[in-house]
Amino acid sequence: MKFWNSIVPLIQERVSSLSTGMDLIPPSYLDELSLLQDRIFPFSTEVAINTIEQELGLPIEELFSEISPEPVAAASLGQVYQARLRRTGQVVAVKVQRPGVQAAISLDILILRFLAGLLRRTRKLNTDLQAVVDEWASSLFREMDYRTEANNGLKFRQLYGGIPDVLVPEMYLDYTTRRVLVMEWVEGQKLSEVNDLYMVEVGTYCSFNQLLEYGFYHADPHPGNLLRTYDGKLAYLDFGMMGEFKQELRNGFIEACLHLVNRDFGALAKDFVTLGLIPPTADKEAVTKALTGVFQNAVAKGVRNISFGDLLGDLGTTMYKFKFRIPSYFSLVIRSLAVLEGVAIGANPDYKVLGSTYPWIARKVLTDSSPELKSSLQALLYEEGIFKIDRLESLLSEALRARTERALLRKQEDERVVIKQILSFMLAEKGAFVRDILLQEFAKGLDALGLATLDSITAVATASIPFTSTFSFSTMTNEDKINLRTLHRLLLLLSGFQGIENSKAVIKEDIPYKNQQMTSEEASLVFNQLASIQDILPILSVIPELPPESQQQLLNLPADLTGRLISRAAARTIRRIIL
């Protein structure tokens, strides 16, 4: 009875994290496990006060001017009282650990580890269940040392407390020991009980920073640990269970999202190796086929409509069938996202956490300086040496959606706002890599435009000469013609995305050039775009609003572009002379 009295509340609190483990436990076992119910009874206030006095070495009345006679909350490891510090008058939460819990849990974990090994052998599971239990147990034992939790809270506050509308309570280390934790009292409602989609958006942005920016994340974000304060902020509570997401895994996760959205399931299979979900020796062709079957329908509706919960469900069935392994870190990471989507659905049934996270992923890919993500961006934008501008348009479009301020959450149609955002992004220091790619493609496009112009002049000049009408004088290669189309799309891009859809209808990248007339028509489109004062004015009007460093960077662009154009023209001339 001792085992079940202590471990069942913990299983109940964390059953949702186990249920995201996909092949960790078969579906029938999960169904039975989810039926476990157990009320968590508080221990006496007298025992709690004795623990506080023993841990802090002072009588309770010298520590607090007042303290609630009964706990305001009780959990499996401890319970919480509201109190007021005598020294400062600050209202605080005092968490007191349940007596004897560490010894009881140690025995329970030992039994659970034995059962995990037995289950793995009998069910022939590919995942090391005992390693998963060890990961869970280590985080649980860290959670039982309130000094560790207080330091986690301090680190979390330092990293994420500055995010707009995020509140991380202050920790009082002078009043904290292994079994007693004192922290700032936070008033509010459970996030799951309020219909505030903006709070969910803030949580999504904060989760992105936790998982993919710094790698230090809240691994137990159940609804009771997320509050909406009465002044409209998202408060995080309980920092006992935290996770560390290593840099290579963060990059792998970002790359997997990119490949998923762009339906590159072959690359996604390689990402699964990086993330440790499948061994390097796995049959990549079979894995790619399986992932295609799982994800192709999910992504067909676009990234904004991908349900994270549906992906997990579909992927879970496939991974259980193929005996893919689940790294011990994976369930905590996935749970942190799944819980957020679950809370969000309460406010908006159509909410998709991946659709809200992807703009931040797109922005990070476009701005990150790490060689790994630069390489991923290069591979995404260039396919067999051809620049895929539609993918850049998609990334930029999504990156510009990455907003958290209340005033910017509303859809903005103002052309000048879009142009300013594009210019600010491309001229900033973090946009250097993308800016270099764009300058390179502009130079290639302008070079192609010069060739198209020369061809047009030549065609007109020779039109009246007998016997020349049947000959083609084009100096343009297929690559030049593709570059000309890309130039037109780039000009539309810098005009605030206006006309891009019409452009796609007129100039399609997969339609080969049939004749000289089409080249002339496209050259005319580009000239019209360059000469249109109406299109240029919005760009010129936002330049004074840019930061001084961005304006200076803009002034340097013509010289840079000219140098690239001259180098390209010289290289082409030398190549044609030699060949």
Indicate which residues carry an active-site annotation: 220
Dihedral (CA of 59, 61, 62, 68) sign: positive
| Token couple for 200 | 């969910």
* C-alpha dist (Å) from residue 242 to 88, 140, 176, 221, 521: 30, 10, 18, 10, 60
SS (H, E, C) 160-218: HCCCCCEECCCECHHHCCCCEEEEECCCEEEHHHCCCHHHHHHHHHHHHHHHHHHCEEE
- Phi and psi at residue 16, in whole multiples of 5°? -70, -30
- The bridge status of strand 242-244 relative to strand 216-218 is antiparallel
Q: For the chain, how many helices (H) and strands (E)?
A: 23, 13
CB count, 10 Å around CB of 102?
16
Burial class of residue 424 in the structure, from the number of CB atoms within 10 Å of its CB (0-12 exposed, 13-18 middle, 19+ buried): middle
Residue 396: which H helix or E strand, with range?
helix 389-399
Residues 6+ apart with CB under 8 A from 366: 377, 395, 396, 399, 425, 431, 433, 434
Token pair 């909410």: residue: 351
C-alpha closest to that of 267 among 248, 282, 287, 249: 287
Cα(547)–Cα(524) distance, integer angstroms: 35
- The bridge status of strand 180-184 relative to strand 166-167 is unpaired
Cα(17)–Cα(553) distance, integer angstroms: 48
Burial class of residue 409 in the structure, from the number of CB atoms within 10 Å of its CB (0-12 exposed, 13-18 middle, 19+ buried): middle
Token pair 């931040």: residue: 360
* Helix, strand, coil distribution of the chain in percent, nearest 5: 65, 10, 30
End-to-end distance of the chain based on CA atoms, in angstroms?
Answer: 86
Cα(430)–Cα(298) distance, integer angstroms: 32
The answer to whether the beta carbons of residues 84 and 60 sit under 8 Å apart is no
486 three-state secondary structure: helix
* C-alpha dist (Å) from residue 460 to 82, 455, 469, 471: 88, 9, 10, 13
β-sheet bridge partners, residue 181: 95
Burial class of residue 472 in the structure, from the number of CB atoms within 10 Å of its CB (0-12 exposed, 13-18 middle, 19+ buried): exposed
